Amino acid sequence: MQRIIRWRENNIKEKQFILILSLLVGVFTAFAALILKFFIHSIKDFLTHNFNIEGANYLYLVYPGIGIFLCSIFVRYIVKDDISHGVTKILYAISRRQGRIKRHNIWSSTIGSAITIGFGGSVGAEAPIVLTGSAIGSNLGSLFKMEHKTLMLLVGCGAAGAIGGIFKAPIAGLVFTLEVLMLDLTMSSLLPLLISAVTAATVSYVITGTDAMFKFHLDQAFEMERVPYVILLGIICGLVSLYVTRTVMSVEGVFGKLNNPYKKLALGGIMLSVLIFIFPPLYGEGYETIELLLNGTDKAEWDTVMNNSLFYDYGNLLLLYLVLIVLLKVFATSATNGGGGCGGLFAPSLYLGCISGFIFSNFNNQFQMLTHLPEKNFALMGMAGVMSGVMHAPLTGVFLIAELTGGYDLFLPLMIVSVSAYLTIIVFEPHSIYSMRLAKKGELLTHHKDKAVLTLMKMENVIERDFVTVHPDMDLGELVKAIAKSHRNIFPVTDSDGVLIGVVLLDDIRNIMFRQELYHRFTVNKLMTSAPAKLYDMDSMDQVMRVFDDTQAWNLPVVDKDGVYLGFVSKSKIFNSYRQVLVHFSED
Looking at the fold, whether 22 and 114 belong to one and the same domain comes out as yes
Q: What is the CATH number of the domain that holds 108?
A: 1.10.3080.10
DSSP state of 306: G
CB atoms within 10 A of CB 16: 11
Residue 512 is part of which domain span? Answer: 451-586
Measured CA to CA, the distance from residue 542 to residue 532 in angstroms comes to 18
Where does a domain end: 396, 428, 447? 447
Helix (H) or strand (E) holding 504: strand 500-505
Measured CA to CA, the distance from residue 200 to residue 28 in angstroms comes to 8
Q: Do the Cβ atoms of 504 and 479 come closer than 8 Å?
A: yes
Measured CA to CA, the distance from residue 392 to residue 398 in angstroms comes to 12
Inside any domain, residue 214 = no
Looking at the fold, whether 382 and 237 belong to one and the same domain comes out as yes
Measured CA to CA, the distance from residue 149 to residue 74 in angstroms comes to 33
126: which residues sit within 8 A by CB, 6+ positions away?
162, 163, 166, 167, 344, 346, 347
Inside any domain, residue 219 = no
Q: 179 in helix, strand or coil?
A: helix
Of the candidates 250, 269, 238, 445, the residue with the CA atom closest to the CA atom of residue 352? 238
Give the ranges where 186-344 is alpha helix by DSSP (H).
Answer: 187-208, 227-256, 261-278, 287-295, 299-302, 318-338
Q: What are phi and psi of 422, to 5 degrees?
A: -65, -45
Looking at the fold, whether 43 and 103 belong to one and the same domain comes out as yes
Helix axis angle for 86-96 and 449-456, nearest 10°, is 80
Of the candidates 417, 498, 437, 469, the residue with the CA atom closest to the CA atom of residue 249? 437
Q: What pLDDT is stored for residue 456 in this prediction?
A: 55
Q: What pLDDT is stored for residue 430 in this prediction?
A: 83
Looking at the fold, whether 287 and 404 belong to one and the same domain comes out as yes
- Rounded to a whole number, what is the largest CA-CA distance in the chain? 102
Q: What is the CATH number of the domain that holds 488?
A: 3.10.580.10
Looking at the fold, whether 505 and 432 belong to one and the same domain comes out as no
Where does a domain end: 177, 208, 239? 208
Measured CA to CA, the distance from residue 384 to residue 114 in angstroms comes to 25
Which whole-number Å values give the CA distances from 560 to 389, 467, 500, in the listed order?
39, 17, 10
Looking at the fold, whether 78 and 177 belong to one and the same domain comes out as yes
Give the ranges where 394-540 is alpha helix by DSSP (H).
Answer: 394-405, 411-425, 436-441, 449-456, 476-485, 506-509, 524-527
Q: What pLDDT is stored for residue 448 in this prediction?
A: 45
Measured CA to CA, the distance from residue 547 to residue 541 in angstroms comes to 10
Tell me the residue type at 278. I
Inside any domain, residue 216 = no
Q: What pLDDT is stored for residue 301 in this prediction?
A: 87
**pLDDT averaged per 10 residues, the chain (length 588):** 76 86 94 93 91 84 93 90 72 66 88 94 89 91 81 88 90 86 67 93 91 79 88 96 93 88 92 94 91 86 87 86 95 92 90 95 83 89 94 90 81 93 93 68 47 58 86 88 85 90 86 80 86 84 80 87 89 68 50
Of the candidates 61, 62, 81, the residue with the CA atom closest to the CA atom of residue 72? 81
Looking at the fold, whether 358 and 472 belong to one and the same domain comes out as no
**pLDDT one-digit tens code per residue, 487-532:** 888 899 999 889 999 998 888 888 887 788 787 888 888 888 888 8
CB atoms within 10 A of CB 112: 25
Measured CA to CA, the distance from residue 320 to residue 359 in angstroms comes to 9
Looking at the fold, whether 313 and 179 belong to one and the same domain comes out as no
Q: What pLDDT is stored for residue 440 in this prediction?
A: 54
Of the candidates 581, 557, 579, 580, the residue with the CA atom closest to the CA atom of residue 570? 557
Looking at the fold, whether 420 and 365 belong to one and the same domain comes out as yes
Compute the CA torsion angle 290, 291, 294, 300 (nearest 10 deg).
-100
Q: Do the Cβ atoms of 526 and 473 come closer than 8 Å?
A: no
Measured CA to CA, the distance from residue 214 to residue 201 in angstroms comes to 15
- What's the structural domain count of the chain? 3
Inside any domain, residue 305 = yes
Of the candidates 134, 149, 138, the residue with the CA atom closest to the CA atom of residue 186? 149
DSSP state of 557: E
Inside any domain, residue 346 = yes
DSSP state of 518: G
Where does a domain end: 447, 477, 493? 447
Q: Do the Cβ atoms of 189 and 165 come closer than 8 Å?
A: no
- Phi/psi region, residue 99 (left: phi>0; alpha: psi -120 to 50; beta: rest), is left
Q: What pLDDT is stored for residue 187 in this prediction?
A: 65
Looking at the fold, whether 261 and 395 belong to one and the same domain comes out as yes
Q: Do the Cβ atoms of 340 and 272 come closer than 8 Å?
A: no
Looking at the fold, whether 431 and 462 belong to one and the same domain comes out as no
Inside any domain, residue 213 = no
Q: What pLDDT is stored for residue 136 in this prediction?
A: 93
Helix (H) or strand (E) holding 348: helix 346-367
Measured CA to CA, the distance from residue 165 to residue 126 in angstroms comes to 10
Looking at the fold, whether 237 and 363 belong to one and the same domain comes out as yes
**pLDDT one-digit tens code per residue, 196-246:** 999 999 999 999 988 878 878 777 888 888 899 999 999 999 999 999 999
Inside any domain, residue 443 = yes
Q: What pLDDT is stored for residue 449 in this prediction?
A: 46
Compute the CA torsion angle 93, 94, 95, 100 (nearest 10 deg).
40
Inside any domain, residue 215 = no
pTM of structure: 0.75
Q: Do the Cβ atoms of 297 and 219 come closer than 8 Å?
A: yes
